[in-house]
Amino acid sequence: MNITSYDVVNPATEEIVDTVALADVADTDAAVARARRAFQSWRKVAPADRGRLLRRFAEVVDAHVEELARLEVRNAGHTIGNARWEAGNVRDVLTYYSAAPERLFGRQIPVAGGVDLTFHEPLGVVGVIVPWNFPMPIAGWAFAPALAAGNTVVLKPAELTPLTAMRLAQLALEAGLPEDVFTVLPGKGSVVGQRLVEHPDVRKIVFTGSTQVGKGVMAGCADRVKRVTLELGGKSANVVFADADLEKAAASAPSAVFDNAGQDCCARSRILVQRSVYDRFLELLEPAVTGFRVEDPSLDTAQMGPLISRGQWDRVRAYVPDDAPVAFRGSAPDGPGFWFPPTVLAPVDPKAPAVTEEIFGPVVAVVPFADEDDAVRMANEGEYGLSGSIWTRDLGRALRVSRGIEAGNLSVNSNSSVRYSTPFGGFKQSGLGRELGPDALHSFTDEKNVFIATEE
Ligand code: NAP
Ligand code: MG
């Protein structure tokens, strides 16, 4: 049977929010063909005009931040505070890259017998495949620089969370972006996503999602030497040394892992604590966890909402069997919705799946370490290397450990990983390539070298 529509469910209430038509392979091919035609004119739009259109898109998003945020609360169960930040992030990323078309400089390289110039040429149609955990920001990190560089974009949202992406596509048209420059195509990963990977006229894939699906995407892209950026999973460490501001480290540790109900590729889901302060740290952590507000995500006071789906709830639950070493837990509402309380595991077997695997839920393991070498060794265990935090007052140690941890995004005495003006991406199996920051356009262009003879 061919399933042609999908019922979007509010994860806080289990009520149906909307029914969305799903694209099939023929729809995908048609969208790519339109995007390919649109590319011929979009690439020729003067740099300043392309920048102006992206700024106008940013302004229209800004005027709809509250609407987009409310939509994300209903579709994804995000807290309203987070959802406002997420919509604002789309605006900010568009604004940041709106300056890029006029700064997409090539070089003039000294050579014999002529002049040598380089150009950063757009690729063509870019396929963007996003997950359900941060539907708006992850989409914006790809489509804003891709459009700025002169590409057209076909974006496939996750089946669970298509609504804000669909609304952003309408807002792009309202802002004056030409038709077919930015297309959002809801559909299944195995249908629309797969077709974007295989389609010969899609010149680049930006994939964010699980490492498992990402490997298949990479293999599919290899067939056509298609450019690919992968943003995959993580199992990031929050490393707390004995000399740190323990009160601050403990007070901020819950939001570093329970934000977005732990459904965050940067979640610090392993807290590594120096053994001499391990008990003290747990004492400080407990009130921060039990006081973490898990409630109706539309309330301004909410710090955490539900998990995205029943399926995700089941997956997370499997990491906390009845005999799990739960040190303490926060609370969660009863009744409908995919609620899971913040859960702290300690002491826990370092080989337990909850310590070694990405859970993508509000579960954290607190593990002791002996010294600096031990901390770096433990932080580097496993296949991932996305982000992490280091808490210490010793600047030399902060830098040594930052250099020692194999991860793309580290923060010292802070848990924040993402700024649109700085590069973001993974080491090891957490990904390939970088998004955001000043160089993002280079992954949406190919460098061309032109030699012009000047000899008579
Ligand atoms: P997922 O199952 O890998 O899905 C991600 C996207 O890929 C969805 O849009 C999905 O579509 C699509 N897809 C599925 N099968 C596909 C195929 N064969 N070909 C092409 N596309 C396909 O991941 P998820 O469960 O949605 O998200 C959770 C994972 O994403 C976690 O592992 C997390 O760490 C990772 N993540 C990483 C980052 C980062 O920046 N590094 C950010 C956020 C999330 P459907 O859902 O419609 O099937
Ligand atoms: Mg999936």
- pLDDT tens digits, one per residue of 205-249: 999 999 999 999 999 999 999 999 999 999 999 999 999 999 999
User: Residue 446: its pLDDT value, please?
Assistant: 98
DSSP state letters, 204-219? EEEEES-HHHHHHHHH
> Residue 301 Cα, ligand 2 centroid: separation in angstroms?
30
Superfamily the domain 237-418 falls into: Aldehyde Dehydrogenase; Chain A, domain 2 (3.40.309.10)
| Ligand 1 within 6 A of CB of 158 | yes
SS3 126: strand
> Residue 257 Cα, ligand 1 centroid: separation in angstroms?
19
Q: Is the Cα torsion angle 38, 39, 44, 45 positive or negative in sign?
A: positive
Q: Where are the domains of the chain?
A: 5-232+430-453, 237-418
Q: Tell me the C-alpha distance between 203 and 197, whole Å.
A: 9
> Residue 132 Cα, ligand 2 centroid: separation in angstroms?
8
| Ligand 1 within 6 A of CB of 423 | no
Mean pLDDT of 9-31: 98
Angle (nearest 5°) at CA 389 between 304 and 396: 155
Q: Tell me the C-alpha distance between 250 and 113, whole Å.
A: 65
pLDDT band, very low/low/confident/very high, at 2 (cuts 50, 70, 90):
low
Q: Which residue in 209, 244, 259, 213 sits closest to 417, CA to CA?
A: 259
The answer to whether the 5-232+430-453 and 237-418 domains have the same CATH topology is no
User: Residue 285: its pLDDT value, please?
Assistant: 98
Q: Tell me the C-alpha distance between 338 and 308, whole Å.
A: 7
* Token pair listed for 415: 């848990």
| Ligand 1 within 6 A of CB of 216 | yes
pLDDT band, very low/low/confident/very high, at 1 (cuts 50, 70, 90):
very low
Helix H segments across 296-370? 310-317, 353-356
Q: Tell me the C-alpha distance between 16 and 304, whole Å.
A: 21
- The residues with which 137 forms a beta bridge, in sequence order, are none
Mean pLDDT of 356-370: 98
* Token pair listed for 31: 């969208």
Q: Whose CA is nearest to atom 39 of ligand 1?
A: 231
Nearest ligand to the CA of 236 is 1
- In the residue annotation, 357 being an active-site residue is answered as no
| Ligand 1 within 6 A of CB of 217 | yes
**CATH number 3.40.50.300 given to 5-232+430-453:** no
Nearest ligand to the CA of 131 is 1
DSSP structural state of residue 420: T
> Residue 157 Cα, ligand 1 centroid: separation in angstroms?
9
* Token pair listed for 355: 């310590």
| Ligand 1 within 6 A of CB of 262 | no
Q: Is the Cα torsion angle 252, 258, 263, 269 positive or negative in sign?
A: positive
> Residue 153 Cα, ligand 2 centroid: separation in angstroms?
22
Mutate to test the pocket of ligand 1, among 24, 82, 129, 307 (most ligand atoms within 8 A of CB): 129
User: Residue 141: its pLDDT value, please?
Assistant: 98
Q: Whose CA is nearest to atom 14 of ligand 1?
A: 189
Distances (CA, A) of 316 to 15, 219, 259, 388: 22, 29, 15, 21
User: Residue 179: its pLDDT value, please?
Assistant: 98
Mutate to test the pocket of ligand 1, among 89, 93, 194, 208 (most ligand atoms within 8 A of CB): 208
| Ligand 1 within 6 A of CB of 159 | yes
Which residue among the candidates 72, 159, 231, 358 is catalytic per the annotation? Answer: 231
> What percentage of the chain exceeds 90 in pLDDT?
99
Q: Whose CA is nearest to atom 36 of ligand 1?
A: 209
> Residue 27 Cα, ligand 1 centroid: separation in angstroms?
21
pLDDT in tens, 312-338: 999 999 999 999 999 999 999 999 999
Mean pLDDT of 401-424: 97
> Residue 211 Cα, ligand 1 centroid: separation in angstroms?
8
| Ligand 1 within 6 A of CB of 384 | no
Core vs surface per residue 301-314: b (16+ CB within 10 A) or e: ebbbbbbbbeebbe
* Token pair listed for 207: 């994939």
| Ligand 1 within 6 A of CB of 251 | no
Q: Whose CA is nearest to atom 10 of ligand 1?
A: 189
Nearest ligand to the CA of 199 is 1
Q: Which residue in 144, 151, 61, 142 sits closest to 100, CA to CA?
A: 144
> Residue 128 Cα, ligand 1 centroid: separation in angstroms?
11
Pairing status of strand 5-9 against strand 16-21 = antiparallel
Q: Tell me the C-alpha distance between 193 and 213, whole Å.
A: 10
Nearest ligand to the CA of 308 is 1
User: Residue 145: its pLDDT value, please?
Assistant: 98
Q: Which atom of ligand 1 is nearest to the CA of 431?
A: 41
Nearest ligand to the CA of 312 is 1
pLDDT band, very low/low/confident/very high, at 418 (cuts 50, 70, 90):
very high
Q: Tell me the C-alpha distance between 311 and 338, whole Å.
A: 9
